[in-house]
Structure 1
Amino acid sequence: MPTHSFPVLNQQFIVDTKYQFIREIGQGAYGVVCAAKNTQTGEDVAIKKVTKVFEKAILAKRALREVKLLRHFSGHENITSILDMDITNVQDFNEIYLVQELMEADLHQIIRSEQPLTDAHFQYFIYQICRGLKYIHSANVLHRDLKPGNLLVNADCELKICDFGLARGFSDDAESNVGFMTEYVATRWYRAPEIMLSFQSYTKAIDMWSVGCIFAEMLGGKPLFKGRDYVDQLNQILQILGTPDEATLRRVGSERAQAYIRSLPKMPTIPFQQLYPRASPLAIDMLQKLLNFDPAARITVEQALAHPYLAAYHEEDDEPVHESTFDFSFEVTDRIDEMKRLIAQEVMSFKASKEQALGIQNGGLRRAASLSAADRSATTTAARNTPHEQIQEEPAIAEEAPVNHLASSMEVDEDLERELSGQAMQA
């Protein structure tokens, strides 16, 4: 394969000559991204160079997981797909090139642009998130890092879920889920309360909580729970949802977390209608069902798709499930040389089967036209007017975090903060 090189930000890209550089998109903790044109097809694509893959075992495993999962979910319209991938030297490489669809922006940029979003936008975006998540959950995979920055949007308001580096398998057998917190550094603003409170029993409901946080952020134009630390994050959830009942608390909370919550004044629930007075009654009802403190009572992705708020788009026959569950057996190895071999194997396997159809072929979102041309135009304007300065990773501490009246007069319990963040479980 003939290659050529060009600089992108602080990296040198070495790729197939058919890819011609268009512009820089951004960089994050795990790589650099640029836009390019495939001169053979005329298609504009995004090329991501994942760097320093083998400097640490945790980075190698994250890269391996990402490649395997993207291949497993290839073909679904609401999940980003790999169009091509490459490594510069099979025997000695420390970076991976992933070629994917070029999307104009992510949902974080759309919200940040302050471009007015309509109820039709909210419905269409939430529907597509849930449609993609149904496919992911059907393979017994939890995404674990759903947030606006991991939801890519194009000019037609089509949305794709990306970044599977923190994904994990799910089993109905609780003992099989031990070690769930390993590597778990997902953004705290979108982290389900049961994850902070227990680290023991977890379900697909953790992703549904994240969907609820994303929905609230669209409705309000800013994150709903912007904790400065994990104790503050828990406090902000309690201040809005109210104190959970004793049965729920015992089921999802560790002894230390239970004791902390019981030590606080009993808090009432603040109605979402009060927080989002312009939201429709159906939007508020769905938000309440997504942001239920009790994971057992939180709606599933199937129930979310069937909610009346998404009736304009819901069509069960056009909401596929995966034909097989994902095999996470590769996770047992922590040897960098073995993970390097497995990544090279994935790249070679992909290239060998590149001409074959991967994943599902399901004809697209048949009701996409329900989003008006005016609504699509508004989102396109927002996407094009938002600079691609940097790939969003972990958000910074809230610039104007609300005063926490529960803990403002006391120092944060460092042991509790460690436990809620998961550090105690990883030690």
Structure 2
Amino acid sequence: MAATEARDRPYARMLDGRYQLIRSLSQMHENMQAPVLLAYDHLGKDGTGMYVAIKGIVDLFASLAKAKRILRELKFSVRLSGHPDLMYLENLLVPWDESTFTGIFMVFKLMRCDLSTRLAEGVAVAQAEAYGIAQQKGKGCGQKVGKPITGRLVKRWMFELLTGLAFMHGSGVLHRDIKPANLLVDEEDRLRISDMGLARADIRREEDFAYMWTSHVVSRSYRAPELFLRRDLAPEASDHVSPPSSPRPAVSDASPSSVVPDVPPRPGAAPSAYPPFSSYSPAIDVWSAGAVFAETLTGRVLIPAGLPVKEQLRAVLSFSGTPKRPDWCEGGGLSSPTMKRYLESLPYYHGMDKQGCFPGVSVEGTDLLDQLLAFDPRDRVSAADALRHPYFNSVRNEYLGRPRPMALNPKDFEFELREPSADELTKLRQEILQEIKAFRKRNGKGPGGVGASPQALSRVSLAGTTLPPRPTHDESAAKAVESHQFLRGDSVPVEKMGSMQLGDDPPSPQ
């Protein structure tokens, strides 16, 4: 019995003979299918050891859709991870049984926390600062809580986010799920884009498959308005959303893979490299980036979570303003008849005064925000063009020599287009295994190793560690969040948050 307990303790379990499991970095629940684990790599950093994050994907072949999604995420993670603004894939572990495995392990660079938690920490710091000033204790109270958020830091985050998106879009890839929970920051506050599970490659040139391009992606607060335009606004149409799962308010649709029938394109419409029967283009990621930008400036979600479709569109239009194009209600020929009638019935919106909404932000910053959050995707700036905006003049030289976009091989994504057969899951199993082994061979990690059964992850209590204590993952940020008023709803007004310095702070001395 004692031997069994010792074997099941997480810090006694090893993966590939080198990774020592410590605890979960995810909120564990019975339906979790991809827990993220804190682990110690005994061979990392030239054998001196390093902390890593291991994503353990379980029940991989529960459905054909999930198996394809994981294979897709594998391919994107392998091919795009060399960019400094995308999550770096350290290793892939060969499954413990190549013929019957039902899960895989992906090893990533360990980051401090996600942007959602980091913003909450910044708000907690600002509240402590404002409280100290109100109590006549002077400035500096916020520094005892956590790391503040400054205008220059926001500018760096946005440049890194847009640089990563420009690389992905130039490579023919849409992320489709840009939100603070999928943007990770390290100890130096450098941002990386993570979670390629909903990404798609531009590999279609003729017919498209509707199930691959649904509007039910990305939390609603970060969803581009054109993805709503196909909706039928009949009174009986449902508009349900699921509860939030982030440290800060964020709501996702209950069914991320649900299919909404597409509307045929407008006759004579210009051809697009992206699906001919959907609203998809790189502009959806740009909109999400704009929503993230607005959130970093105030610490608050731009569009409240959980709004019905009509209210969400009104909120977006009241913020961005009614487009000047006469055919904007048609959504490029994609608006459903009921949606078009609804949009035509709305009053003209002038748009909010961005200088008033974001006090302290420069004119260049609010101009970029307007370009990122244009309601009509035809008026929205691209990620590559946004990087040339004057708002980034003071930080651009810090990011010279970024990799150029790469050309993906369409043959690597043929599994997306083939008709499913009776043995499709077997084929996908072999392709996943081949992808893992090819990665290990290219990166000099050998043909394989001693793995572990992912099924055991749901049965093991992941807590405790025997390794030397040190700050890991989001512990310090989470403590700041939990210890202050932000999560309890008793927050300080944005205009009184003295330590959220929205203007540029001077660059640090060289």
Q: TM-score, normalised by structure 1?
A: 0.77
Q: Which residue of 2 aligns with 1:359?
A: none
1:274 aligns with 2:352: no
Partner deviation per Cα, 1:262-300 (whole Å, 9 max, x = no partner):
223333311222211222222111111100111111111
Residue 285 of structure 2 aligns to which amino acid in structure 1? D
Q: Equivalences for 1:216-255 in 2 at 5 Å?
A: 216-228=294-306, 229-245=308-324, 246-252=326-332, 253-255=335-337
Going from structure 1 to structure 2, the CA distance change for 1:311 and 1:7 (only over 3 Å counts) comes to farther
C-alpha displacement of 1:249: 1.9
Going from structure 1 to structure 2, the CA distance change for 1:192 and 1:130 (only over 3 Å counts) comes to same
C-alpha displacement of 1:32: 1.0
C-alpha displacement of 1:208: 0.5
- Structure 1, unaligned runs of 5 or more: 357-379, 389-398, 401-427
Aligned length: 362
C-alpha displacement of 1:61: 1.2
Going from structure 1 to structure 2, the CA distance change for 1:8 and 1:247 (only over 3 Å counts) comes to farther
C-alpha displacement of 1:49: 0.5
Residue 312 of structure 2 aligns to which amino acid in structure 1? Q
Where 1:269 maps in the other structure, the secondary structure is: coil
Going from structure 1 to structure 2, the CA distance change for 1:14 and 1:223 (only over 3 Å counts) comes to same
1:108 aligns with 2:191: no
Q: Which residue of 2 aligns with 1:33?
A: 36
Look at both structures and tell me which one has the larger radius of gyration over its CA atoms.
2
1:214 aligns with 2:254: no
Q: Which residue of 2 aligns with 1:341?
A: 430
Going from structure 1 to structure 2, the CA distance change for 1:22 and 1:197 (only over 3 Å counts) comes to same
Which one of 54, 61, 64 corresponds to residue 71 of structure 2? 64
Q: Equivalences for 1:340-419 in 2 at 5 Å?
A: 340-355=429-444, 383-387=474-478
Q: Equivalences for 1:310-325 in 2 at 5 Å?
A: 310-314=392-396, 318-325=401-408
Going from structure 1 to structure 2, the CA distance change for 1:20 and 1:297 (only over 3 Å counts) comes to same
Which one of 59, 76, 80 corresponds to residue 73 of structure 1? 80
Partners of 1:205 and 1:183 in 2: how far apart? 14
* Aligned-residue identity in percent: 31
Where 1:84 maps in the other structure, the secondary structure is: strand
Partner deviation per Cα, 1:68-99 (whole Å, 9 max, x = no partner):
00001121111112211122211011111010
Residue 432 of structure 2 aligns to which amino acid in structure 1? I
Q: Does the Cα contact within 8 Å between 2:321 and 2:375 map onto a contact in 1?
A: no
Partners of 1:13 and 1:240 in 2: how far apart? 52
Partners of 1:55 and 1:381 in 2: how far apart? 33
Q: Which residue of 2 aligns with 1:413?
A: none
Partners of 2:323 and 2:288 in 1: how far apart? 19
Where 1:243 maps in the other structure, the secondary structure is: coil
Q: Does the Cα contact within 8 Å between 1:62 and 1:166 map onto a contact in 2?
A: yes
Partners of 1:286 and 1:112 in 2: how far apart? 24
User: Which shows bigger deviation, 230-239 or 303-312?
Assistant: 230-239
Partners of 1:39 and 1:209 in 2: how far apart? 41
C-alpha displacement of 1:152: 0.8
Where 2:25 maps in the other structure, the secondary structure is: strand
User: Which shows bigger deviation, 215-224 or 328-337?
Assistant: 328-337
Superposed CA RMSD in Å reads 2.9
Q: Which residue of 2 aligns with 1:298?
A: 380
Where 2:379 maps in the other structure, the secondary structure is: coil
Going from structure 1 to structure 2, the CA distance change for 1:330 and 1:182 (only over 3 Å counts) comes to farther
Where 1:26 maps in the other structure, the secondary structure is: coil
Q: Which residue of 2 aligns with 1:360?
A: none
Where 2:478 maps in the other structure, the secondary structure is: coil
Residue 157 of structure 1 aligns to which amino acid in structure 2? D
Partners of 2:339 and 2:212 in 1: how far apart? 18
C-alpha displacement of 1:326: 5.1
Where 2:361 maps in the other structure, the secondary structure is: coil
Q: Which residue of 2 aligns with 1:142?
A: 174
